[in-house]
Amino acid sequence: MKYLYTLALATALFSCKNEAPTTAADTTPRYVWEAYNDSLDIAKTQALENSRMHLKLVNAKRLDKNDIWKDLNGEINTLSRKRISEISPLILEQDIPTIQKHVKNGDYSYEELTLFYLNRIARFESDNDLALNGVIALNKEAVKEARALDTKDKSTIDEYSVYGMPILLKDNIGAAGMPTTAGSVALTDNNAGDAFITKRLKEENAIILGKANLSEWAYFLCSGCPVGYSAVGGQTINPYGRLQFESGGSSSGSGVSIAANYAVAAIGSETSGSILSPSSQNNLVGLKPTIGLLSRSGIVPISSHLDTPGPMTKNVVDNAIVLQALTGKDAADSYSYASTGNYIQAVKEGNLEGKYLGVIKGYLQDSTYAAAINKLKETKATLVEVDMERVNMPGFLSILNIDMKNDLPAYYDAEVASSVKNRNIEELISFNNQDSLARIPYGQQLFKGIVADSTTDTELKAIKEDLMEVTQAYFQDALSKHPEASGQLDAILSINNYDAGYAAAAHYPALTLPMGFTAQGEPKGITIITPSKNEEVIYNIAVEVESALNARTLPEGYQE
């Protein structure tokens, strides 16, 4: 009965708005966004106490969201509302192996899967009561590419693969055919080619569905401003509490889009918390891998010492599948190394028996964390309470400042056409000042800090080495010295991005997954941290933790 009710409701929702013929040649928009006065939305955020969500803008000044899907109107219309209702229960919240089985069984095709997500993006993003500002651009070739994949013998396709899976890229990751803007007006004409990881996805026959919004310049532009805003895409909105909860940053568009099932998965990027934060805030699984496991070539940088892309998904198995597809040694990235890990197998063999997990005593005051730990006590893992005294990280900001000062011009030289101007921080500051209301409504204090930082290369090298030593000791002091674990814990259990800075400086991987909700309904994540190159251990633990907590849910209003 529940399925029949869901199906009937979905049919009713699709049939009540924006009717249009469904022929391949019809480019009449099925979904039309109408600009509106967002002053009431802004006023709501101004009333929030103890929040950084004091917004000045919801929609970017130059944004017409109809432009996002206008080249795809003809294809979007070919999937009828009736068909969408039929396949919706077979796609929403399903993991990749399940989706692949449905395709193999003929329940729907890769083309229909792609069209389903395109319709979902256009439908919700054209509705000002539900729009998340999660997507900046769509790949106009996506449907054609999916149709070509449907010609292959489905019986030969690995169910644990990204073949035919529509995936969104954070818009600081290069993808041919779409601009790579980093959310900045200065890069709206940056038609860079594929990043290394984009090439890897294409080699594995994934569908690049489009580009996700982000905190502009990966949240290294303004100070104290709301996370998730860019001058190109506007303010991303958390679907679990629209204009109430932060969307997390800087991979905010990736987070809100996957939370609402706009794609199978998204790729985010992190320097210090930028995957962990939006994944936690949006009830997702997000991995910040060991630096060098995934190439950074073709990604707009902050710091070559700390940056990494990583997968953001609705579940652990999908995360492992996407990570496996992304790996590969890149000669152009000095940190890159060849992976020997079998992450998919690690998930399949998930096991907490014999695992020793560190529980941070100070975090047990958090009721959501405490409740999750109580559930994990019922598993076969051994939980060990650890004291972790916060340590200072002097010079961390200088790593970001000086690396970006050097790495950004290098990115321009390698990836950006000479016709694109404003190729260093000083020029970008001047460009932004020419129209501060549209380009930098929250200022550019961090850009100014980059210019002002006089740290030398010698000093920077020492800072990086010192911080790696300090932060690795921060974790190792907790991971070791526990006789009940034969002197070594397998992982530390943290919250959200609380320890992201330490993991970043230590080059340690961290994976967050849904832990539960606060009394106000805000999602929180439990974050698993291990020493470098232990992603297999993380996945082996994470899949069992996910099963024990079972905290992932679709946000209300996005369930059909």
Of 184, 230, 250, 277, the catalytic one is: 250
Distance of CA 226 to the CA centre of its chain: 17
Alpha carbon distance 412, 280 (integer Å): 32
Residue 532 annotated among the catalytic residues of the structure: no
Amino acid occupying residue 213: N
Q: Render 206-247 in DSSP notation, one character per residue.
A: -EEEEEE--SHHHH-SSSSPPTTEETTTEE---TTSTTTS--
Alpha carbon distance 446, 306 (integer Å): 17
Q: Are 357 and 225 in contact (CB under 8 A)?
A: no
**Rounded to the nearest 5 degrees, what angle is found at the Cα of 240, between the Cα atoms of 237 and 245?**
60
Looking only at the bridges linking them, the beta strands covering 285-288 and 308-313 are antiparallel
Of 215, 257, 274, 304, the catalytic one is: 274
Handedness of CA 451, 455, 460, 466 (dihedral sign): negative
Distances (CA, A) of 10 to 20, 132, 263: 17, 20, 18
- Locate tokens 């060849």: which residue? 338
Alpha carbon distance 68, 142 (integer Å): 13
φ, ψ at 169 (rounded to 5°):
-115, 135
Q: Are 426 and 451 in contact (CB under 8 A)?
A: yes
φ, ψ at 126 (rounded to 5°):
-90, -5
Residue 247 annotated among the catalytic residues of the structure: no
Of 65, 170, 199, 211, the catalytic one is: 170
Q: Are 396 and 467 in contact (CB under 8 A)?
A: yes
Tally of CA atoms within 13 A in the half-sphere of 396 that contains its CB:
19
Tally of CA atoms within 13 A in the half-sphere of 399 that contains its CB:
22
Q: Are 221 and 446 in contact (CB under 8 A)?
A: yes
φ, ψ at 420 (rounded to 5°):
-85, 120
Residue 250 annotated among the catalytic residues of the structure: yes
Distance of CA 342 to the CA centre of its chain: 22
Largest CA distance in the chain: 70
Residues with a catalytic annotation lie at 170, 250, 274
